[in-house]
Amino acid sequence: MLRTLTGALLAAAIAAPAFAADYGDEAAPYTPPPARHGLAHGVPPLCDEPDVISRVAGKFAHYDANVIYSGLVIEHIDGIHQTALRAGGPSLVDRRYCGGTVWLSDGRRSEVVYLIEGRKLGAFSIGWSVESCLPGFDPYRVYDGACRSIRP
């Protein structure tokens, strides 16, 4: 009895007419999705944006107040340039590598290297982050010698 019922259902399924989607005369060609760009999609901001520069100076001020105790602050950053952009690659995190020259409160100047990382998980991430380093002001080698770990 069960075999007969199973056979009848299988025969009905095979005999049923197949419905095809109507695409018109010819199928539309494949168009790739639009490229990701802008902060809403994870691409990090530009190297010289005021928010980025403010974060670089703020991180150095916090680092100085809690680690190196030199009493120095970043007065000005100039010569800002992008050294690399790694976006849309195999990594889920887009990265923009930047550099420049900082003028410290005692009149000295130093190189600054910083890395801007885009949103890590799309809409679920809070935003972008900045890691910065001044060679010669990293006594515990957090970013390795000469800030190598945040260079491209």
The three state secondary structure string of 31-65 is CCCCCCCCHHHCCCCCCCCHHHHHHHHHHHHHHHH
**Residue scoring higher pLDDT (140 or 113):** 113
Local confidence band at 33 (pLDDT 50, 70, 90 cut-offs): very low
Give pLDDT, residue 91: 76
Q: What's the residue count for the chain?
A: 152
pLDDT digits (tens, 9 = 90+) for 134-147: 998 988 899 998 99
* Residue position matching structure tokens 């259902």: 9
| Residue 104 three-state SS | strand
| Banded pLDDT at 150 (limits 50, 70, 90) | very high
**Residue 14 burial (CB count, 10 A):** 7
| Contact partners, residue 10, CB within 8 Å, separation at least 6 | none
When pLDDT is cut at 50, 70 and 90, the band that residue 107 belongs to is: very high
What is the rounded average pLDDT for all residues in the chain? 80
pLDDT tens, position by position, 40-86? 456 789 999 999 999 999 999 999 999 989 999 999 999 999 999 99
For the chain, what are the domain ranges?
A: 39-150
pLDDT at residue 34, as a whole number:
46
